[in-house]
Amino acid sequence: MNFPFFMIFAVPILAVWASFAFVWIARPKDKKNIKLLLAFSGAFLLALTFFELLPEVYEGHSPKTIALLILAGILLQVFLEFFSKGAEHGHMHVDLQENKFPLFLFLSLALHALIEGVPIDGNNSILYGIVIHKIPVAIILSIFLVNSKMKRGLIILFIAVFSIMTPLGSYIATQSAWMENNGYLMTSLAIGVFLHISTVILFESSQGHSFNLRKLVVIILGIGIAYLV
């Protein structure tokens, strides 16, 4: 059974604000468990992309067109990461000046979140994947913002706008007449973004090529659950 229409928009917003509230109240220091959740989310999102999105966009459409758009999505995400410094996959390498709003970080994350919302369109599995991906990223982003020297108002503004971008992407996808006939094009672009993000997360989860049983278990768990949903 599909989520009610309003839940498609409410759940991603609640995920971001719940993550921010957790950081604001708990002020977590140890990021090991967050990185495990990030590894799970990367595996879950990658598996859903293969199980759900790829078969859907290739069905009845030009394979070369789809492939080009997927590659364009990968390149778009590479470009965005010049400005976000890897925040989409749990890295924060931005040096904030006091009370200065990080405009390029904000714009890159906002565009990434907007694209994320396009493929949801009533698909519960993809909604789960996006939310599970958003939670660890929002936690790490919130830790970074809370520990920065930015004013509280700017931090709240950043989180507020970031939280609505994915629902905005879903709204555009469901309400646009152009998207009704050509939505597979934007979904293909989103697939490229998902492939880049999820594979980078998985590569980073085995950083240094050292064996980590806990990360291997959560990755297998993420793939297994994605297969079952």
Sequence-distant (6+) residues with CB within 8 A of 142 are 19, 20, 22, 23, 24, 159
200 and 126 Cβ atoms separated by less than 8 Å: no
CB 144 within 8 A of CB 94: yes
Of 85-89, 127-131, 225-229, the poorest mean pLDDT is in 85-89
Mean pLDDT of 214-227: 92
Closest CA to 40 of 196, 163, 192, 205: 205
Model confidence at 223, pLDDT cuts 50, 70, 90, reads: very high
Residues 158-175: tens digit of each pLDDT:
999 999 999 999 998 888
Collapsed DSSP state (helix, strand, coil) of residue 109: helix
Question: Torsion angle, CA of 161/69/8/6, rounded to 10 degrees?
Answer: 80
Is 2 part of any domain? no
Domain assignment of residue 64, yes or no: yes
Report the run of H or E that residue 17 belongs to, with start and end: helix 5-26
Between CA 150 and CA 152 the distance in angstroms is 6
Residue 75 pLDDT > 60:
yes
What pLDDT, on the 0 to 100 scale, is given for residue 50?
A: 95
Domains contained in the chain, number: 1
**Per-residue pLDDT tens digits for 182-217:** 889 999 999 999 999 998 888 775 555 555 788 889
Do residues 16 and 145 touch, judged by C-beta distance below 8 A? Answer: no
| CA distance linking residue 170 with residue 3, whole number of Å | 13
In a domain, 1, yes or no: no
Residues contacting 48, CB < 8 A, separation 6+: 125, 126, 128, 129, 226, 229
Helix 32-48 with 177-205: angle, nearest 10 deg: 130
Residue 1: pLDDT band by 50, 70, 90 thresholds?
Answer: very low
In a domain, 3, yes or no: no
147 located within any domain: yes
Among 74-88, 100-114, 207-221, the least confident range: 207-221
Full residue range of the structural domain in which residue 221 is found: 9-228
Instruction: Please identify which residue in the block is written with the tokens 């950083």.
Output: 207
Q: pLDDT over 90 for what percent of the chain?
A: 49
Domain presence at residue 4 = no
pLDDT one-digit tens code per residue, 18-60: 999 999 998 887 677 888 888 999 999 999 999 999 999 998 8
- Whether 38 is covered by a domain: the verdict is yes
Task: Please state which of the ranges 84-93, 104-113, 195-204 shows the lowest mean pLDDT.
Answer: 84-93
As a three-state string, the secondary structure of 174-224 is HHCHHHHHHHHHHHHHHHHHHHHHHHHHHHHHCHHHCCCHHHHHHHHHHHH
pLDDT at 112 over 60: yes
Residue 27 lies in a domain: yes
